């Protein structure tokens, strides 16, 4: 099997970090979403990440790919039940929503301004800020590196990579300290966006 994607994508990085943490061999192939011939054949949405499997149809969407990889490895990073499951999946959803807003905003910033454009950009920026504030409030409860925390780490790495001129750390000391520690993991170092 192999993962199709782009190294800068926080969604691709989430799947790659999870695979490394689980010890799952996951070859990675960089694809350009605008020009790839393989990607739309594997995923009708032509979105990344897409997982090409040897023994079944492709799987897409980072959350589904992570669920599949975790199941292959015996279910170690996505809690199976109870409050731990819902906490991890809700944290993942918050981080993914932060990424959705940040990725969309980056794409829109390259377009010419138009009616409502600046309002939409401001709305996306506010969504990122609210997500960061919520993560700061929860940072003291992070106790491992499950799917939720992996998603958060990848989201923060994306902000550092794409929005270096908009620092998030000064007003979020607990989240900043947690991210500094997590960034030292080999899985995070091996998947740095480029």
Per-residue confidence in pLDDT tens, the chain, 194 aa:
999 999 999 999 999 999 999 999 999 999 988 889 999 999 999 999 999 999 999 999 999 999 999 999 999 999 999 999 999 999 999 999 999 999 999 888 877 766 667 888 899 999 999 999 999 999 999 988 999 999 999 999 999 999 999 999 999 999 999 999 999 999 999 999 97
**13 to each of 109, 121, 177, how far by Cα in Å?**
23, 24, 21
Cis before 162 (ω within 30) = no
In the chain, the domains with their CATH numbers are: 2-72 (3.40.30.10), 82-185 (1.20.1050.10)
**Gap between the Cα atoms of 69 and 16, Å rounded:** 10
Distance CA 179, CA 43 (A): 32
Query: What pTM value is reported for the model?
Result: 0.95
């Amino acid at each position: 099997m192999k993962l199709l994607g782009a190294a800068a994508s926080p969604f691709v990085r989430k799947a790659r970090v999870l695979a490394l943490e689980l010890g799952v061999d996951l070859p990675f192939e960089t694809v350009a979403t605008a020009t790839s011939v393989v990607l739309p054949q594997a995923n009708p949405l032509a979105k990344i990440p897409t997982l090409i499997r040897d023994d079944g149809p492709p799987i897409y969407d980072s959350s589904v790919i992570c669920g599949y990889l975790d199941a292959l490895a015996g279910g170690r990073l996505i809690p199976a039940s109870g409050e731990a499951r819902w906490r991890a999946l809700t944290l993942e959803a918050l981080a993914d929503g932060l990424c959705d807003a940040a990725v969309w905003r980056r794409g829109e910033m390259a377009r010419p301004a138009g009616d409502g454009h600046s309002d939409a950009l401001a709305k996306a920026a506010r969504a990122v800020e609210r997500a960061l504030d919520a993560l700061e409030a929860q940072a003291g409860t992070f106790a491992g590196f499950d799917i939720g925390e992996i998603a958060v780490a990848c989201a923060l790495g994306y902000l550092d990579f794409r929005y270096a001129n908009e620092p998030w750390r000064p007003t979020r000391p607990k989240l900043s300290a947690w991210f500094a520690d997590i960034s030292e993991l080999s899985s995070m170092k091996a998947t740095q966006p480029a």
